[in-house]
Amino acid sequence: MLPKWFNQWNRDNPTDVERPAIIFGTIGVAVIAVVALVMLGQPYRTESLQTGPRGTGMMVTKFAASATTPDPTIAGFLESTSAPVVPAAGAQLAGDARETVPAGLEGLTVENYDRLLTAMRAWTGIPDLFENPDSYQTTVGTIMIGMTRNLNENWDGHVNANGAAGVTCYTCHRGEPVPSDVWFDAAPLKAAQGWAATQNHVTPLTSYTSLPTDALRAYLVDYGTIAVHDLESRVAGVPGQDGYPGIQNAERTYALMNYFANSLNVNCTLCHNTRAFYDGGQVTPQWATASLGIAMVQELNNDYLVSLEGLLPAERMGPMGDGPKAACATCHKGYQRPLQGLNVIADWPELATSGEVQYE
Q: CATH homologous superfamily for 50-71+181-332?
A: Photosynthetic Reaction Center, subunit C, domain 2 (1.10.468.10)
Q: How big is the chain, counted in residues?
A: 360
Question: pLDDT digit string (tens) for 205-220?
Answer: 888 888 889 999 999 9
Q: How distant, in Å, are the alpha carbons of 84, 167, 292 from that of 155? A: 23, 10, 8
Q: Is the pLDDT of residue 133 over 80?
A: yes
Q: Give the integer Cα–Cα distance in Å for 111 and 291.
A: 39
Helix (H), strand (E) at residue 61? strand 59-63
Listed residue (356, 350, 352, 338) closest to 74, CA to CA: 338
Lowest model confidence (mean pLDDT) among 15-19, 208-212, 295-299: 15-19
Higher confidence at residue 74 or residue 29?
74
pLDDT at position 190 is 64
Question: Mapping DSSP to helix (H, G, I), strand (E, B) and coil, where does residue 63 land?
Answer: strand
Higher confidence at residue 227 or residue 120?
120
Q: Quick check: 250 and 199 in contact, CB under 8 A?
A: no
Instruction: Please enumerate in sequence order all residues whose Cβ is within 8 A of that of 355, keeping only pairs 6 or more positions apart, or say none.
Output: none
Listed residue (132, 97, 121) closest to 111, CA to CA: 97
pTM (global) more than 0.85: no
Q: Give the integer Cα–Cα distance in Å for 311 and 241.
A: 37
* Three-class SS of 216-281: HHHHHCCCCCCCCCCCCCCCCCCCCCCCCCCHHHHHHHHHHHHHHHHHHCCCHHHCCCCCCCCCHH
Q: How distant, in Å, are the alpha carbons of 173, 183, 235, 282, 300 from that of 329? A: 12, 10, 40, 26, 14
pLDDT band at 5 (very low <50, low <70, confident <90, very high): confident
pLDDT band at 340 (very low <50, low <70, confident <90, very high): very high
Question: pLDDT digit string (tens) for 33-57?
Answer: 877 766 666 666 667 777 666 666 7
Domains of the chain, residue spans: 4-41, 50-71+181-332
Q: Give the integer Cα–Cα distance in Å for 224 and 302.
A: 13
